Structure 1
Amino acid sequence: MAVASPQWRSACPAAEAMASAAARLALQRGLDRTREAAEVILSLVLTDDAEQRRLNRDYRGQDKPTNVLAFPASGPDTHMPHGAPLLLGDVVLACETVQREAAEQGKPVADHLRHLVIHGVLHLLGYDHETPQQAERMEAIERHLLSELGVSDPYRDTM
């Protein structure tokens, strides 16, 4: 876990602990890919919009910041020897974008942060939302995990 932007400390003082707990929950709850691994290695980075914009531009060809980026280190079909560490990848979140979206959606920054961490981890685990069926499945998992953290359904106003 790296807090690369001091803005996170004022935006959400418990951001580091909340992000870690959300990622841990996503990894622990019935996600088959992590079960065989002796250890799962995941990098969480809390950064700012400038760095996120650079990453988004360099790796996705979009010259703008975004709320969360997920960089998988291995694919869902990568075979790992039983008991070997699983290098999952990186989840990177942009402070200003997360704050702005939380304000626009009328929700606490902490809740939006936890949602986006879970969303990013699910991407690393092979989930996606390119089709309506994929989106429905991914959102159902997000809702379930967020409810365990006491976070309201982030999709309730968009349905």
Structure 2
Amino acid sequence: MDQNDLGKIDLQVDLTFHSAPDLFLIGDISSSTNIRLVNPEPWVYDIKKWIISLLENKRDDCPKVLFLARNLSLSLELIDDKKMIELNSFWRQQNQSTDVLSFPALDQELLVPFDGFLELGDIFVSVPMAQRQAHEHHHDLVEELRWLVSHGLLHLLGWDHPDEESLQKMLTCQEHLLNIEGMV
């Protein structure tokens, strides 16, 4: 799918975005990375094209209401390890940082057409953890952030990975989403 294909499905994405504070950034940050850390537009573009791709491929594992809704709402917050530890401790009883947490708001069984904005939920990404993982995997921070946000989005849409088979299906879907051409 290229940029021209995004117009085939009319989809609006309302993103509440909380940018990464400068204090959390380690080392030199490229301008394209900085844009991702402080600007919601590239994220709106990615999220929109990822959801459109899932809809066009008629994924059975997507919530049925997603095929009916054309106005979606979610939040993305780029945070530090301290806040991630607080969230992970409170919600998962794990007193440690993690790379991404998602809090789905979707009712997987909802089938009613929805005229307003369908709330998907919240995604939190630890920028310091993403920086460490990008370094470990020998790729740039933007690639790691996109990986984590796509993973979080799939969780908002009901995906989970309780076993190796479901993890592999989810990772394959993520790879597909991340390989769609578009904004860096």
Q: Which consecutive residues of structure 1, in runs of 5 or more, have no partner in the other structure?
A: 151-159
Q: What is the Cα deviation at residue 43 of structure 1?
A: 0.4
Q: Are 2:48 and 1:24 aligned?
A: yes
User: What's the secondary structure of 2:158's corresponding residue?
Assistant: coil
Q: 2: distance between equivalents of 1:57 and 1:149? A: 37
Equivalence for 2:133: 101
Relative distance call for 1:108 and 1:51 in structure 2 (3 A) is same
| Percent of aligned pairs sharing the same letter | 31
For 1:96 and 1:121, the matched residues in 2 are separated by 20
- Between 7-16 and 68-77, the greater mean CA deviation after superposition: 7-16
The 3-state SS of whatever aligns with 2:179 is helix
* TM-score of the superposed pair, with normalisation by structure 2: 0.73
Query: Aligned partner of 2:52: which letter?
Result: Q
- CA separation of 1:68/1:80 partners in 2, compared to 1, >3 Å: closer, same or farther? farther
TM-score normalized with structure 1 length: 0.83
Looking at structure 1, the residues matched to 42 and 134 of structure 2 have their Cα atoms a distance apart, in angstroms, of 15
Letter of the structure 2 residue corresponding to residue 5 of structure 1: P
Q: In the alignment, residue 46 of structure 1 is paired with which amino acid?
A: L
Give the deviation of 1:143 after TM superposition.
0.7
The 10-residue stretch of structure 1 (36-45 or 115-124) with the greater mean CA deviation from structure 2: 36-45
Deviation at 1:149, TM superposition (A): 4.2
User: Partner letter of residue 69 of structure 1?
Assistant: L
Secondary structure, in 3 states, of the residue corresponding to 1:27?
helix
Opposite residue 136 of structure 2, the aligned amino acid is E
Cα distance between partner residues in 1 of 2:149 and 2:163: 21
Residues 6-21 of structure 1 mapped to structure 2, 5 A cutoff: 6=22, 7=24, 11=29, 12-15=33-36, 16=39, 17-21=41-45
1:23-102 counterparts in 2 under 5 A? 23-31=47-55, 32-33=62-63, 34-102=66-134
Larger Rg: 2
- RMSD after superposition: 2.1
CA contact (8 A) 1:40 1:86 kept: yes
Is there any run of 5+ residues in structure 2 with no aligned partner, and where?
1-16, 56-61
Cα distance in 2 between the residues matched to 1:40 and 1:95: 25
Q: CA deviation at 1:83?
A: 3.0
